[in-house]
Structure 1
């Protein structure tokens, strides 16, 4: 049974609960020596990374899914000088200019109150690999300047990626 099927409106929404947890986790961003498996409710950012020479993890990127099962998308404007323009599915540049908007399915929670969250859109790197942002999010996701406010009760699922360090967070 999904939360959508619940008649009891006082029960919590699992996507809302997870995003609240991720927000608290990112706010705390405390190091821990435990080697825990990666999942949305892992209590420590970067706990699955044994290499102490990397930057401390400060972000748990995720994908939200709408009621029809598709990934939620939001528009962003690419940062100037960050990298080449985004690509289509074949890895070819879509535009030669930076003055256009693109869509992304990757997010970082910036703030959350109840089930209302401010999400920062993460900018995917242009690459020809089939799943680079999922396979290697540290190398293939960047902060954008675009944020979106969402009602977390409108999503049916959340998929978390490996914890990463994003400069500027």
Structure 2
């Protein structure tokens, strides 16, 4: 199945799109992980293993961090506010799915990108000097994330790709 292309070339019926399907699967996996960690029954054999992106043994993950790629091949970016971030550094390309509705719409939590190199935690400014574009080299410096209170509603059919980055524990269940 291709992005927004018919699953059957003979039939004009279109699927909601591969990005919608992937984000819906991420939400299902996250919801299952939160339910498992918050409930006493954690041995269900049918559970998806959230935490497997980093390490299969990681059991404290509650979020699958991902990026959305626009039709022109660039990462989708959104603004966030965070008490730990410099007010001038407020753009991220990293998200956590919170909810899906209609056929292909989602509420995403914008995640604050962090660098924890040398045991100091700082927000990574992902934008280029002119502030218009994402500096791809800076994305490589991100090795951790904070949850923010900033959410955005998107139509997932507007994107061509989704890239999963890591499974992390943001304390969503706490």
Q: What is the TM-score normalised by the length of structure 1?
A: 0.70
Figure out how many residues of one structure are paired with residues of the other and give that number: 139
Aligned to 1:155: 159
3-state SS of the aligned residue for 1:26? helix
Aligned to 2:32: 28
Aligned to 2:131: none
Distance 1:49 1:145 in 2: 27
3-state SS of the aligned residue for 2:31? helix
Aligned to 2:22: 18
Offset at residue 2 of structure 1 (A): 4.0
Aligned to 2:75: 71
Structure 2, unaligned stretches of length 5 or more?
A: 37-41, 115-122, 126-136
The answer to whether the 8 Å contact 1:75/1:101 transfers is no
Distance 2:75 2:124 in 1: 20
Structural RMSD (CA) = 3.0
Offset at residue 132 of structure 1 (A): 2.6
Q: What is the TM-score normalised by the length of structure 2?
A: 0.68
3-state SS of the aligned residue for 2:19? helix
Offset at residue 49 of structure 1 (A): 2.2
Distance 1:9 1:120 in 2: 31
The one of 100, 108, 117 equivalent to 1:112 is 100
Distance 2:2 2:14 in 1: 14
| Worse-matched range after superposition: 67-76 or 100-109 | 100-109
Matched, 1:46 2:51: yes
Offset at residue 61 of structure 1 (A): 0.4
Aligned to 1:132: 141
- Between structures 1 and 2, the one with greater strand share: 2
Distance 2:98 2:13 in 1: 26
3-state SS of the aligned residue for 1:167? coil
Distance 1:50 1:25 in 2: 14
Distance 1:101 1:132 in 2: 15
Aligned to 1:3: 3
Structure 1, unaligned stretches of length 5 or more?
A: 35-42, 86-97
